[in-house]
Structure 1
Amino acid sequence: MIVRTRKDLRAAVEVARQKGKKIGFVPTMGALHDGHISLVEKAGDKSDYVVASIFVNPAQFAPGEDLDRYPRNEQGDVARLSAAGCSLVYCPSVGEMYPEGSLTNVRVEEMSDLLDGIYRPHFFYGVATVVARLFIHVGPDVAVFGEKDYQQLQIIKRMVRDLGFPIEIIGGKTWRDGDGLAQSSRNAYLSEEERQRASAIFSALHRAASRLRIGVPVEEAIKEARGFILGAGFSKLDYVSAVDPATLHDLGDGPLEEGQGCRLLAAAWMGSTRLIDNLGV
């Protein structure tokens, strides 16, 4: 079942809630792959009635980015969602999400200005705003976000905590192809040759994680990872960083301490396509 307005969405969700069902939610921008479907299945494990949204959010694209060419396949996406057990698909218009004259935005300060926020300063403010609006529209008990977008996941968790949304946020594992490349809608932009080289970003993080586990200093492991990514044919490297998993702050340059948490994150360009990935240590 597809709904396109808040009124119809709330009516359908209210019927489910009156039947005692727990509401799960998975927001997407469409162009679904197996990773998205795994999030829907996880939401189904944690709830009784799963809502997924398909909305390409203009607020998280800067001028010159790929808003107009972002892959769209609503009919195919809805079919995949239905097969995965999704009960309702919300496909709002831009006007439904951002009513005319809308002035209100949500900013998760500091965390949004690190890592990807340095290179896409608009991005996480657009994400937080649209997710907050979707939470208000859907009113879920549980929402599932992929760990592939790790910084986004941590920002949403912080927003929910700070604003008091009564929603449990759950992370879903990164879904990878056989060579390790994280599945992403933007992988469709890669040429065959670029696709063959793109998995180097995961290989670099995997090696860095292994090196950190045996006591190699952070600065040495990160330097090796950067060299590996650039040597594999990536045209530009935005960052490779070792950060605190919760705060996203950079860790010191020495070896990790016993029991210290660490998340490795990277963003690099393969031709005109920007890829991100991350790995826990």
Structure 2
Amino acid sequence: MMAKTKASYLSGDVPDDPDSFFEKSPFSCETMILRFEKGDTLKLHRGLLLKYPKLATLDANSLKHISRSAGHVLVQYLYTNRYRTLKWVGPADVQQETIAKLETAFQVYATAREFDLDKLETLAIKQITLLSKDVDAFTIIDIVKKTYPAAKGNDTWFPAFVKDTIRVAFETPLPPSATETAPETIPDNAAAEEQTAKDVTLTTLLLQGALEVYREKIDALTVKSILLAVAGADAESGPSATIDSPKETAPS
């Protein structure tokens, strides 16, 4: 029994990275409240922030631009060095759940870059890479517009991700997903919701138009290449041989 417990410990139930250990227990520090979108709040021990220079001066209102779900992932990471989301409580719709989790992952990614949380950034990238496989390019672009509209600092991963997303869309375009998202990401007022819907429609139309133009050009080039190849083959073979019909001999 003891051996099993030890093996479980060594297998990763407890972080074994030296950087994950504290010199002073953060649980002996006072707690603080962090506020997120829609007034949601979470509590954590302030001592957890001291390991990270940019988090050390964090105040209660510094994260009001991200959702409760992304905030939970951040706090969970500060306690455990792991990426863990809340259990999905929305409709029993796999696609909607995936989109909501992808939006959360992008918010976590942006937050990790903002506060130089390198390990959390890497974990968020893994989530984004996994989840985006099941989401069409149109929806991904809409999510990026809301959560990470401008790359922060020397971001080498994000441009490559966008390029790969567009490449996949060109090769195998999928129909746009439903625009519904997780409850915490829905605008609070009808005007904002209507504007969001308009923005999504515009983005979708632009990307669809780009795809159609691209495919038309590719099709035109393909047809042209085929015609040129056929013409070249005809030119190389020369005029087709003909068999003269027998000439009639005039009666003597």
User: Shorter chain as normaliser: what TM range?
Assistant: under 0.3
Higher RCO (CA 8 Å, separation ≥ 6 residues): 1
TM-score (normalizing by structure 2): 0.27
Name which one, 1 or 2, has greater alpha-carbon Rg: 2
Larger helix share, 1 or 2: 2
Larger strand share, 1 or 2: 1
